[in-house]
Every structure is written in structure tokens, then in C-alpha cells.
A and B are shown apart, each in its own frame.
Chain A
Amino acid sequence: MAEVIVVTSGKGGVGKTTTSAAFGTGLAQRGKRTVVIDFDVGLRNLDLIMGVERRVVFDIVNVIQGEAKLNQALIRDKRVDTLAILPASQTRDKDALTKDGVRQIIEELSRDFDYILCDSPAGIEKGAMLALYFADQALIVTNPEVSSVRDSDRILGVLQSRSRRAEEKLGRVKEHLLVTRYDPARVERGEMLKLEDVQEILAIPLLGVVPESESVLRASNTGTPVILDAESIAGQAYKDAVDRFLGEDVPHRFLEPERKGLFRRLFGGRAA
């Protein structure tokens, strides 16, 4: 049986799709058979972030409505061979997703994959509810910013009351906190919520901290999951998070501001 993981946050723009792409790729790099599903029907974007936008033929709605076989809609990644992507539809609306349809897809994928990553849309409407409904585990993507933390708290409440595990009393969805766009320099100046504050407020186990990094935009520009950029601090932070997820004891990095020498302060050089 595959493990179903939802990547969710409530708030938009905090890094769900970036995380889904990076984390999914990371799991696959570790040899896990991994599929990433885009639940953002109407606003498909995972394909673009993962660089497979020109290979989309069928999508999740086609599969649910019986217009295509699951295997026809799955896109096999060319960089990591244990990785696949199931894109969202761009033309249909979110009502095209049904609980039974999603259940069937997840059951079928469970036979061939170890991990099924569900990239949730923002909000708490149908797409988001279906993305988290079948989850065994949840990656809660949170920025150190008040509205993001509040929305994460809200989503945690939804996971605890309206997921399949909650409804069928199968035990709690295992929650992981992933703090993204963390800027240690601003934290040090008292301008940004500290990691400890976010942890204290949300009170779920910390999986990783991804620092604010220019490499994330560069990765999305080129359609390369940022974890494949092994030089970048964001890529390394995602790799650490994947390793921790798989049970390794990896210390947290990039929590302190980088001390720049006079030369770098004069001539630039920003977070890679």
C-alpha cells in the first residue's frame, strides 16, 4: 500500500507546488516510486514547475470521467525514473473532481507507487478538501507570516475533523511542519516570526526549514524542481527534509544569517 501525503497550507503562494515538485523528486531520487498529483483543477501549474508542460496529453479529470486510462495521463519524469506526474485539468472547473473518482485513482496508483503526493490548491474548497481527504500524512507548508500561520492552523483543524482518517476513525493524519521562505537575517532583526514561534503556535513536529533563496525562482523559470539544484541552499534544505522524512537524523541548517565578509558586502553575492 502506498502512503498518501498531502502538501497543503490553506494560504496561496507559500510554496505548495514548489514543495510538491521538490519533495516528490527527492523521494524518487531516494529510489521510492513516487507520483505527484496536481489537484488544482482549473489552475494547473505543477506541470510547469516540474518542466513537463509540453508533455501533458490527458489529465486527472479525463481519467475520472473515463475519457482516458490512468496510464495514459501519467507523465513519467525523464530525469528521475521512479517519478511520475498526474496533471490537473486546465479547462474544467473544480466540480469535475469527485470523491469516488479520486478514491479510484488513488487505489489504482497505490498498486504501483510507494508514495502519492497530493499538491493541494489554496483555500478550503472542493479541490483542497479532496487533496487532503485520503491523506495518511500531511506536509503543512507555512511562511513565517501571520496570515500563513493562521491559515495553516485552520487547515490542521480541517485535517483533524474532515479527512478520511478522521471520519473513519483510523487514527490521526501524521502532520509535518515545513517552514518556507525563512529569512534568518530578518528574523535576527526582529522583523520576521522566529522558527520557534511558528513551532510553538502550530505545535506540530518540524520537518524542515527552507530558506528564502533566489534559486527557487530560477528553478521555476527553467522547470527544474529546486532539489535538483544541489548547490542551492533551498535545494539542500529540501533534501534534508526528505532524508528526515525517511527517518534519518539530519540537523537543521540555514537557520542563522550568513555572515558576509567586507568583500561580499561590497560586491554583492546573495543567497544561492
Chain B
Amino acid sequence: MRLLDLFRARKPAQASASAAKERLQIVLAHERIGRTREDFLPKLQQELVAVVARYVAIDPAKVAVNLERGGDMSTLEIEIELPGPQAMRLQAAASR
């Protein structure tokens, strides 16, 4: 086996180490900032949903929150599904 290895062409290097470095730098940049204050995301989500619910009847199960942390910019995405006209009519009928 060893003898064969000697003559076998080297596989191209998989430079996964650079991916490791990049991922670490991004995650640590965020964690170092976040170290001093507590995680605000759950509260932010709660309050946003409460505000929307004041104006529109929404299903709490149909709220999706996503956070994408990047090197230069992060994106906070909050998706709240609003009921369609049909659901609204049914709701109105039920409350009558």
C-alpha cells in the first residue's frame, strides 16, 4: 500500500483551512460585540409581532425570523404572513 502511495498522483489540495479562518473571523466578530449585552433577538421578535398584531390579525405560528451574519453586513429578516381576504371574511363572520 505504502509503495503504491508513492507513485500515486497527489490529490489537489482542499484548501478548507481558509474557509475555517473566514468563518471564524465572522462569527467571532459578532460574538465579541454581543459579549457585553444579552441576546436581544427574541425580545425584538416579540415586540415587532405585538406591534403588527395590534393592526392585523396574525397567526403567531406564521412568523419567521432569520438572521444572516456577514463580514461587512448582517441581514435581519422578519417575515409575517398576513391572512388573505377569505380568512378575514371567515374571521369576521365568526366574531359576529
> Which A residues lie at the B interface, using CB under 8 A?
145-146, 149-150, 153-154, 157, 161, 187, 189-194, 197, 201, 262, 265-268
A194 touches B17 (CB 8 A): yes
A146 touches B24 (CB 8 A): yes
A190 touches B17 (CB 8 A): yes
Binary contact track B16-44/A, C-beta < 8 Å → 1, others 0: 11101101110110011001000000000
Q: Does B90 reach chain A (CB closer than 8 Å)?
A: no
B20 touches A146 (CB 8 A): yes
Q: How far is the CB of B30 from chain A (nearest CB, A)?
A: 11
> Which B residues lie at the A interface, using CB under 8 A?
2-3, 6, 13-18, 20-21, 23-25, 27-28, 31-32, 35
B21 touches A265 (CB 8 A): no
B32 touches A157 (CB 8 A): yes
A266 touches B24 (CB 8 A): no
A153 to B26, CA, bound (A): 13
A190 touches B13 (CB 8 A): yes
Beyond the given pairs A190-B15, A194-B17, A266-B6, 10 more chain A to chain B contacts, judged by CB atoms under 8 angstroms and listed by A's residue number, are A146-B24, A150-B24, A150-B28, A153-B32, A154-B31, A157-B35, A191-B16, A197-B17, A262-B6, A268-B2
Q: How far is the CB of A194 from chain B (nearest CB, A)?
A: 7
B21 touches A201 (CB 8 A): yes
Given the contacts A157-B32, A157-B35, A265-B2, A191 and B21 also touching, CB distance less than 8 Å: no
A268 to B1, CA, bound (A): 11
CB-CB under 8 A from A187, the residues of chain B are 17
A191 to B18, CA, bound (A): 8
* CB contact between A193 and one of B20, B28, B31 (< 8 Å): that residue: B20
